[in-house]
Amino acid sequence: MTSDNNRARTGVPIDASTDQTQPANNSDNASSNRSQTLYRKWRSQTFQELVGQDAITRTLQNAIASGRTGHAYLFCGPRGTGKTSTGRLLAKAVNCLDPDPKARPCDRCEACRSIAEARAMDLIEIDAASNRGIDEIRELRDKINFQPSFLKKKVYIIDEVHMMTEPAFNALLKTLEEPPPHAIFVLATTDPQDVPATVVSRCQRFDFQRISLDQIVGRLQYVCEQENIQADKAALELVARQATGSLRDALSLLDQLIVYSGGNITVEAVRLMLGVMNTEAVADFVDSLIAADMGRGLEQINRLVQAGTDLKRFNRELVEHLRHMMLIKVNPNGKETVDLTAEAYQRLREQAGQIELNTIVNFLKIFSAVDYNLKVSPYGQLPLEIALMESLLQPVVYAQVSAPAQRSYAEAARPAAPVSRPAPVPAQPEVAARKAEPVPIRPEEPKQAPEPVKVVAKESETVVVTDETGETVVLELATVAQAWPQALRSIEAQSKMTAALLREARPASVKGNRVALAFAYSFHRDKINQEATRRNVEDHFSRVIGQRIIIDCVDESGPAGGNSGAAPKAPQPDDRARKRADFFNARILD
């Protein structure tokens, strides 16, 4: 008995079927221990061994030490988080014979050992899923008045109590409210919302939390050490991630892996047996989204299909990855908001720093809607490919990074006198002028205020900007065409997709401060002509030119796509007003 007590104190389990009078090295005992599933063999035997429920453990220990235990408890929470194990610990603690209340359960006395070895008749465990009717509850109610046969108190653990019928709950109510002094009820459920409020109000409720990834990995490592199993930490992290917060599920998976791998658990063994994809595949795909590299993204999807990967599982892990990016973007220092290893968290932080929050949210909206289509679509990976294109055909907003300031062509002509955008001119009676939008000032632009300039409006196809020295800078087609490559480079630094669309265009004509971009394909024209995209192009172009530019997207074959150097047509009766309206980006009311 002494050796068994020592084993119990060190956390080494004792099989319920083992005869304690036999030698410890008996081969039958060893065979029985090996045949027992890990989650039963390594069930917590003391409060110190209970994983991930510190608040509940502390409350129950204080109640036991002070003698203020309740008559009914309701344990709620996800599967595999320790609800039934805690009920058994409570049963051991209230019946423990150790004279020190703070040391209960001691797991050494006869009362504790009888419960640990499943031979205590006064611990009654009931599965409400199969004993849910009123007849079973009436039988329980009739027998509860009998005194315990051996222990001090009878403890009833009713698992999945939400499965009981309404008449059964009604039959239990009075007994649950005023049980005999020797009886304690522990109700366990994964769906507390299905338990009647009248039952909940008669119990002390404890909500069990999902167990964190690090806590599950630590417990798996301890079990592997005790079982003399070689296991890579990365492999155990994969197992813990698949368990989604359930320690019982993690131990069950570990049990399968021990048999599959022959006692040497590697990352590759986990992937092959559980069908888990390479965790880097999701992160690499997100890198393609951040780089707006549609070709690389399609290649990655094709490789997943060729490898036989479950695309629904891949998409769910992708959505979870993007969700973690969103949480980290909102709270960069809040590691507790995501349950990840240190390495995975660091890579997520790096990816989140390369892209703006609104783009991450957009990716989440698109890919979270793909799951159903992947399930019902007869076209294989097509829904995932369409989601990739939808997410990249929209402008991608990148996080601002420091870059060398770019001087405009006007500034290059006169280094000492930077050119500002034209000052507004009073509107004519027949024109309702709109106030031109200011050019956004990037952090890297010069901070000194621009020198004052004078603007002279002319009825020609150009804009003349005159500074106080008398020098002029004329906005004409040649100047615009010369600045166009630099504008493209500026746009490409922010969005490769937008730059790719603009490479199919060319500045075709200049009219006032309006530049007509001629496109060979209507698809490219329509994409650039979207409000947000067009304004973004105008902002980049304006910074390069040195004054406010307005973009008109036209077809290559259209009238604006021709040579702007041709002589202007003869003025029409309202041509003067139209030119002024174009110059001020206004519309004619009358």
pLDDT band at 585 (very low <50, low <70, confident <90, very high): low
**Helix, strand or coil, per DSSP, at residue 450:** coil
Any bridge partners for residue 72, and if so which?
185
Structure token digits, residue 111: 């009362």
- Give the helix ranges, DSSP H, for 146-246: 166-177, 197-200, 213-226, 233-243
Structure token digits, residue 10: 């060190």
pLDDT of amino acid 578: 67
pLDDT of amino acid 569: 41
pLDDT of amino acid 16: 36
**Helix, strand or coil, per DSSP, at residue 574:** coil
The dihedral through the CA atoms of 46, 51, 57, 58 has a sign that is positive
Nearest 5°: the CA angle 499, 360, 281 is 90
pLDDT of residue 295 exceeding 50, the answer is yes
**Helix, strand or coil, per DSSP, at residue 466:** strand
pLDDT of residue 157 exceeding 90, the answer is yes
Say how many residues make up the chain: 590
Q: Compute φ and ψ for 187, nearest 5 degrees.
A: -105, 125
Mean pLDDT of 81-90: 93
pLDDT of residue 164 exceeding 50, the answer is yes
pLDDT band at 364 (very low <50, low <70, confident <90, very high): very high
pLDDT of residue 57 exceeding 90, the answer is yes
pLDDT of residue 94 exceeding 90, the answer is yes
pLDDT of amino acid 420: 44
Mean of pLDDT over the chain = 77
pLDDT of amino acid 584: 67
CB 483 within 8 A of CB 543: no
CB 279 within 8 A of CB 344: yes
* CB-count burial class (<10 Å; 0-12, 13-18, 19+) for 406: middle
Of 226, 194, 244, 303, the closest CA to residue 81 belongs to 244
Listed range (212-216, 307-311, 425-429, 457-461) with the worst mean pLDDT: 457-461
Q: What proportion of the chain, given as a percentage, has pLDDT over 90?
A: 25
Looking only at the bridges linking them, the beta strands covering 514-519 and 505-511 are: antiparallel
First to last CA, the chain: 105
pLDDT band at 162 (very low <50, low <70, confident <90, very high): very high
Mean pLDDT of 267-288: 80
- C-alpha to C-alpha distance for 298 and 287, rounded to whole angstroms: 13
Of 237, 200, 355, 349, the closest CA to residue 289 belongs to 355
pLDDT of amino acid 397: 55
Mean pLDDT of 454-478: 47
Nearest 5°: the CA angle 568, 572, 573 is 150
The C-alpha torsion from 381 through 383 and 389 to 391, rounded to 10°, is -120
**Helix, strand or coil, per DSSP, at residue 198:** helix
CB 51 within 8 A of CB 82: yes
pLDDT band at 335 (very low <50, low <70, confident <90, very high): low
**Helix, strand or coil, per DSSP, at residue 206:** strand
pLDDT band at 153 (very low <50, low <70, confident <90, very high): very high
pLDDT of residue 448 exceeding 50, the answer is no
